[in-house]
Structure 1
Amino acid sequence: MVQIPEDEHNLDCVLAANREWAAEVAAENPEFFHELAMGQHPKILWIGCSDSRVPPSKICNLDPGSLFVHRNIANVCPHTDTNLLSVVQYAVDSLKVEHIIVAGHYGCGGVNAAMDPHQHNGAIDDWLMHVRDVYHAHKKRLDVLPVEYRGRLLVELNVVKSSFNLAYMSVVQSAWARGQKLAIHGWIYRLEDGILEDLGLMIDGPDKIDEEYRMVAAEH
């Protein structure tokens, strides 16, 4: 495992580690990089937090090419984020992913910041307003909990909210309407032991969302 050097301008060890990794992979499977260069065919779109402690392929023990990934602070899925919308559309329409995983993690700094009205973090405060909306919607339930458990529950509720926001998107509903296999899942990563938890949330069709959010009729 390579450690970033204290001298931030000396990244030669990172480049050297990359070459070592590439050589090891090529020795184990000489065709790996050739096949990878031919195109990507992931079955999973992973939407997670930008936190450096939660690298998707690493914690899932998957090879490059297995996950199509989008990350932002606190794994938020707002309908106004054109970056997110573009990623979802490409993943669903072009790559034909079959699963979208929204992965939060306990101890999320963005979620913790959203619970503290006295913090001032510049532009990030505007972004975290999405998480504060979730906090506000569940305030009575959250405020009776100790701070530690309050943060853990808000992480879970934020994953649920992001998952349903994805299900409300027209690109997702259009895929369902044409009979495309697509399911949205909510997961949580535990930093303390490296384990992923399935929240038991799966949205795999318009029947799993309220009627007022169903924008696309099934194709006949």
Structure 2
Amino acid sequence: MHYHNYEDLLENNQEWAAEKLEQDPTYFEKLSQGQKPPFLFIGCSDSRMPLNNFTKTEPGELFIHRNVANQVSLTDMNLLSVLEYAVEALNVQHVVVCGHYFCGGVAAAYKGNATGVVESWVNPIREIYLQNRVEIDAIEKEEDRVNKLAELNVIAQVRNICNTSVMHRAFKTGSYPKLHGWVLDIRNGKIKELELPTDEWRELGIIP
């Protein structure tokens, strides 16, 4: 893999801006007039997860929040602000939690070897592992066990979104975004859409 140095980034930016203007002289003028993205993406901070690349989307199409192992914590003011703004001001139509296979945060939670702040941050994933230990431990290869945990983590975080005050308000109005759980397989660049247990969630009153 070719890594850029610091100066490359600034040069690349100049080239990119010039290319955009060549294609459309009003590109930045339009971009500066505001945003109306239909999607909120909650993804992992991993450097291999540039969501715009994987979905071939342009600036202005995705509203994005990223953190280690794509967590939706009900006490995270940063995430809650992003969610509230996306749902109530931008009126996004879709909220996607996107995890990925071979996630370092998920692997650390599975092995129980995270330390410091990261240990506290990934502790909810450790709990997901312990709750589903029988199912996960029955999988033969360790990397497949970690990847299964990555999927269960995404589903748990979508469920957490349903439990936010933001979504509770949206559910009451009857106008709310569709929720999706994705896992990116970085071995082939493809997105896997996970099946969410919506019937079960309805029965529990988590979603309307």
TM-score scaled by structure 1?
Answer: 0.88
- Aligned match of 1:3: 3
Q: Does 1:171 align with 2:166?
A: yes
Q: Does 1:16 align with 2:11?
A: yes
- Aligned match of 1:8: none
SS at match of 1:189: strand
- Aligned match of 2:80: 85
Candidates 49, 56, 63, aligned match of 2:58:
63
User: Retained in 2: the 8 A contact 1:106–1:189?
Assistant: yes
- Aligned match of 1:189: 184
- Aligned match of 2:133: 139
Query: Alpha-carbon deviation of 1:55?
Result: 0.5
Deviations 1:95-115 (A, max 9, x none): 110100000000000000001
Structure 1 residue runs without a partner (length 5+): 6-10
User: Retained in 2: the 8 A contact 1:78–1:130?
Assistant: no
- Aligned match of 2:118: 124
- Aligned residue pairs total 207
- Aligned match of 1:97: 92
SS at match of 2:66: strand
Distance 1:157 1:116 in 2: 16
When residues 153 and 46 of structure 1 are mapped into structure 2, their CA distance, relative to the original with a 3 A threshold, is same
- Aligned match of 2:194: 199
Distance 2:19 2:95 in 1: 31
User: Retained in 2: the 8 A contact 1:2–1:14?
Assistant: no
- Aligned match of 2:148: 153
Moved more, 168-177 or 147-156: 168-177
